[in-house]
Chain A
Amino acid sequence: SAVISQKPSRDICQRGTSLTIQCQVDSQVTMMFWYRQQPGQSLTLIATANQGSEATYESGFVIDKFPISRPNLTFSTLTVSNMSPEDSSIYLCSGVGQANTGELFFGEGSRLTVL
């Protein structure tokens, strides 16, 4: 299994600012993904974080709004740019372990509130 840590665990942000969420994995993962979970909703995939190259974004998500980095196999960041109240959500980092069984491990999530 993989242990995934995220920080911050929560934050309150002002409209128009940007916040970067960091994700650290205790062991190498083959793939990393970022999800958004709005209150009471399902998990929506934002993008696949690709090591050393640009992330692959899902429909409805763009790099200018959600820039993602993954400089190595165990670390990734997600920035939420120019935030508005609609960005208030939980952002979850996840990874598929090296055993590549398909099991996706999640971080504890970063709860952002935008005022």
Chain B
Amino acid sequence: GENVEQHPSTLSVQEGDSAVIKCTYSDSASNYFPWYKQELGKRPQLIIDIRSNVGEKKDQRIAVTLNKTAKHFSLHITETQPEDSAVYFCAASIRGATNKLIFGTGTLLAVQP
């Protein structure tokens, strides 16, 4: 089955700096790669996703890149703000088949003001 690895496990940046979180997946059939943000005590919420037919997607300060050949994808947050502090999870699934999401281990991002 699918296995998703994520790193780093913790990341501390200064406000205004960029943050990058990386994930690798094992199942070449996976075709959908979302990123979720989970604030303390809250439910995970989707912040951006990318499908396997696209190499990059951007939404304001966040972007995701996908390298299908290497089976890895990354989340990029620019101009970080204190409210970006949270745990971020990457995930992978086979959309259109099982649709079940397998999550990475998570990255605790701390943005220092």
Binding site for B on A (CB under 8 A): 30-31, 33, 41-45, 48, 58-59, 92, 96, 100, 102-104, 106-109
- Across the interface, do A103 and B43 meet the contact criterion of CB distance under 8 Å? no
Binding site for A on B (CB under 8 A): 1, 32, 34, 42-46, 49, 51, 89, 93, 95, 98-106
- Total of A-B residue pairs, C-beta within 8 Å: 49
Partner of B99, one of A41, A42, A59, A102: A102
Docked CA distance A22–B25 (Å): 32
**Known A103-B34, A106-B44, A108-B43; contact A45-B89, beta-carbon cutoff 8 A:** no
Question: What would 20 more interface pairs be, CB under 8 Å, given A102-B32, A104-B34, A106-B45?
Answer: A30-B99, A31-B100, A33-B101, A41-B105, A41-B106, A42-B105, A43-B44, A43-B103, A45-B100, A45-B101, A45-B103, A48-B100, A92-B43, A100-B95, A100-B99, A102-B49, A102-B51, A102-B95, A104-B101, A108-B42
**Known A102-B95, A103-B34; contact A33-B100, beta-carbon cutoff 8 A:** yes
Docked CA distance A107–B103 (Å): 16
Give the residues in chain B near A33, CB-CB below 8 Å: 100-101
**Known A42-B105, A42-B106, A43-B89; contact A102-B34, beta-carbon cutoff 8 A:** yes
Docked CA distance A96–B32 (Å): 13
Give the residues in chain A near B93, CB-CB below 8 Å: 102
Least distance between A77 CB and chain B CB atoms (Å):
19
Docked CA distance A108–B106 (Å): 18
Partner of A103, one of B49, B89, B102, B106: B49
Docked CA distance A15–B34 (Å): 37
Least distance between A4 CB and chain B CB atoms (Å):
8
Least distance between B99 CB and chain A CB atoms (Å):
5
Most buried by A among B1, B44, B45, B93: B44
Docked CA distance A114–B106 (Å): 25
Q: List 23 A-B contacts (CB under 8 A).
A: A30-B99, A31-B99, A31-B100, A33-B100, A41-B105, A42-B89, A42-B103, A42-B105, A43-B44, A45-B100, A45-B101, A48-B98, A92-B43, A96-B99, A100-B95, A102-B32, A102-B34, A102-B99, A103-B49, A106-B43, A106-B44, A108-B42, A109-B43
